[in-house]
Structure 1
Amino acid sequence: MAVSLISANLATISIESFLYGVFVMLYTSSVYFLVQRGQRKLISLGLPAKSIYKAPMFVVAHIIFCTVTGHWILTVYRLFYAFVNYEGGTQATWVYANLALDSEIVKSGLLMATLAASDAMIVSQVPIFPQGAANKWVAIPPLITWLGLIANGIGVCLQFAEFTMGEYVYADYAGRWVTADCIFTFLTNVYCSLLISWRVWRSRSRAKPLRNNSALGALAIIVESAAIQTVWNLIFFVLFQVRSNAQFIAIDLWSPMSGIAFMLINLRVALGWSDNGLYPQDSSKQRASGQNSSLTFSQQFPMQPLSVTITRTVDQIDDGGSFVEKQQELAGENFGEAV
């Protein structure tokens, strides 16, 4: 059944508002727990508690919150503009069909910014995961596709600005830019997911069981996030290629879905299920810190020789046939140094 343009946008406002509510809940929860746990962790490491506010995931969380919020506000604005403000609501179809309106261009730009910020965090995990086995060369392909996403996102906005009513968006330059964007973000997510999954599997096969849980947790975070974006990307790409108006629903919901995927990462890190590179440390520094801690402890509580006196009770029978308890005190013995 064909979906009309009006029906698609009415469905969009309802579903996007619901997803935005879920996104805000995840955002507030993750930021709160991230600050609380992050400050305690940094203090325990001897680092300034305020440095948590400079953590990449903390900064990107606010950027994505602004872009997703702006996208939702424009969706609501366009609803009122189409059905109330413009021509008394009699030309709603024209409003939604005109891609050259400023509100549509800015909304598309906010979507591209959300995708770029979210993909950037996934790409950033490639050369540093796992720590100690970095290879920056493997980050070049996803970096290229990420830059391609940004370039094509700018191209989409420029093409929308030059759009005129009557043009066929699926066949003109704008449609090609949109298709290229889908391909670039798809390649970025799939490449990073496969590479990180392989590295986690390799480190898990060589590590002790205690480290396996942490590795699997990090794997779940990255793979689940990339899976959400990849699946939604495919849904929109298919709908766009078959030229269905339902693609307007998919592309508008892409922004909150991408935000939700990222906030799930933040929430898991905030709850302590994985640090996910939030507190990068050098292993040599950690060993030195541990040695200094042991030295300090030994200085505060020096070891002293420990003398033990043992008293032994012996039951004997005296000449009269009665039991007599005698206590024999052994000489104090030095058992060496103890805490």
Structure 2
Amino acid sequence: MSSSSLSTVLASVITEAVLELSLYGAFAVIFSAVVYLFWARALISKDRPIFFVFLALVILFLSITAHLINAIYMLYLGFAHFGGGIPAAELYLSLSAPTTLAHISLVEVATFITDSLVIHRLYVVWSYNRRVVIFPLIIVLCQIVSGIHIIYDFSRETLFDFYSLSNPWVTSSLVSSLLISGYSSGMIMYKILMMARSFRRISGSANGKYHLRKVLVIIIESSLLQTAMTVGILVSFQIGLLVQSVLTALSPVVFGISVVLIHARVGLGWAKDNYTEPMPTPIALSVSLATSRSEERDLERGK
């Protein structure tokens, strides 16, 4: 191994750990705020958030935390235990090492949870229509198979063999995630726009349309972060750049930030609704806005 390749590998590992630790701080703060807002909402309205969503968020938080701990442990092993240099590089290039297997397994867990929450949002927005989620559920199954195969390939390959031999499974996993995100976002956008047009026809006002579009903006803005990261990993992997290992290591915390940003903005909307009195409106408009806000809250609680 040349000195330049050695320094590149070691530099990428340090970069992964530093960036992940920095992003984890932001993720932990937003996650804590989301938990507080959920709890405050439950106390004020005597309502409970959907159990699946809350449980998924907690498991996502634990998996991201475990991924960060494993990254720090890998850094300790390479530089404190092995003393850096070639032994450390060999550790990081050995995909069959337990720490590396744990690293990629936690990435697959975080990806699966994130995509499951995307499908759940689609399911709620479409009024629990099971036919709408058949396609993404099939894609999730393909993603699970691909993830299991990736972990198996890690257990028996080196980094360089991995690029050539297991590329189809990595590509399949990443494309599956993009299909789920693209399909779900498109269907959610279509449903909300149709609802907004219906409210506008009923009320003769654009207010209901505005409330629903706020929900749409929250979903689209937050999903763009996850989509951009997935595309970056896919492109860098196909090209064969080492930067894909950095992006892959950062993907759990980036996906986590993408998810909790949705709930943080929704929670802030709850707080505003609880402490702000609405202005008097005509009866027809009041009925329309009450309906649109009820639908909006149903959508938000399901994210």
- The question of a shared fold, defined as TM-score above 0.5 by the shorter chain, is answered with yes
User: 2: distance between equivalents of 1:166 and 1:128?
Assistant: 41
Identify the residue that residue 330 of structure 1 maps to in structure 2: none
Identify the residue that residue 201 of structure 1 maps to in structure 2: 193
The answer to whether structure 1 residue 120 and structure 2 residue 109 are counterparts is: no
Deviation (angstroms), 1:167? 4.9
Identify the residue that residue 27 of structure 1 maps to in structure 2: 31
Aligned AA (2:84): G
String of CA shifts for 1:225-246, please: whole Å, max 9, x gaps: 3211111101111111111111
Aligned AA (2:140): W
The answer to whether structure 1 residue 172 and structure 2 residue 194 are counterparts is: no
The answer to whether the 8 A contact 1:55-1:278 is kept is no
Query: Counterpart of 1:4 in 2: which secondary structure?
Result: helix
The answer to whether the 8 A contact 1:218-1:276 is kept is no
Identify the residue that residue 162 of structure 1 maps to in structure 2: 156
Gaps of at least 5 residues in structure 1 are 44-48, 281-339
Query: Counterpart of 1:207 in 2: which secondary structure?
Result: helix
Written as runs of structure 1 = structure 2, the 5 A alignment for 1:130-169 is 130-131=126-127, 135-163=129-157, 165=158, 167-169=160-162
Identify the residue that residue 296 of structure 1 maps to in structure 2: none
Identify the residue that residue 84 of structure 2 maps to in structure 1: 89
Deviation (angstroms), 1:89? 2.8
String of CA shifts for 1:160-204, please: whole Å, max 9, x gaps: 1122x475211113x221111101001000010111111111111
Deviation (angstroms), 1:105? 0.7
Query: Counterpart of 2:122 in 1: which secondary structure?
Result: coil
The answer to whether structure 1 residue 228 and structure 2 residue 232 are counterparts is: no
Q: Which has the higher helix share?
A: 2
Query: Counterpart of 1:162 in 2: which secondary structure?
Result: coil
Report sequence identity in percent: 24
**Change in 2 beyond 3 A, CA 1:276/1:102:** farther
The answer to whether the 8 A contact 1:30-1:266 is kept is yes
Q: Which has the higher strand share?
A: 1
The answer to whether structure 1 residue 99 and structure 2 residue 103 are counterparts is: no
Deviation (angstroms), 1:275? 3.1
Identify the residue that residue 80 of structure 1 maps to in structure 2: 76
User: 2: distance between equivalents of 1:106 and 1:8?
Assistant: 18
User: 1: distance between equivalents of 2:56 and 2:260?
Assistant: 10
Deviation (angstroms), 1:217? 2.3
Gaps of at least 5 residues in structure 2 are 201-205, 271-295
Identify the residue that residue 253 of structure 1 maps to in structure 2: 250
The answer to whether the 8 A contact 2:225-2:258 is kept is yes
| CA RMSD of superposed structures (Å) | 2.1
Written as runs of structure 1 = structure 2, the 5 A alignment for 1:269-288 is 269-272=266-269, 275=297, 277=299
Q: In the alignment, which of 181, 185, 191 is matched to residue 183 of structure 2?
A: 191
Deviation (angstroms), 1:121? 1.1
User: 2: distance between equivalents of 1:278 and 1:56?
Assistant: 14
Query: Counterpart of 1:275 in 2: which secondary structure?
Result: helix
**Change in 2 beyond 3 A, CA 1:137/1:118:** same
User: 1: distance between equivalents of 2:10 and 2:76?
Assistant: 13
The answer to whether the 8 A contact 1:122-1:222 is kept is no
User: 1: distance between equivalents of 2:172 and 2:89?
Assistant: 27
User: 1: distance between equivalents of 2:31 and 2:191?
Assistant: 29
Deviation (angstroms), 1:138? 1.7
The answer to whether the 8 A contact 2:93-2:159 is kept is no
Deviation (angstroms), 1:278? 5.9
User: 2: distance between equivalents of 1:112 and 1:166?
Assistant: 18
Deviation (angstroms), 1:95? 1.0
Deviation (angstroms), 1:276? 5.0
Query: Counterpart of 1:219 in 2: which secondary structure?
Result: helix
User: 2: distance between equivalents of 1:229 and 1:267?
Assistant: 16
**Change in 2 beyond 3 A, CA 1:20/1:234:** same
User: 2: distance between equivalents of 1:71 and 1:137?
Assistant: 35
* Higher Rg: 1
Query: Counterpart of 2:297 in 1: which secondary structure?
Result: coil
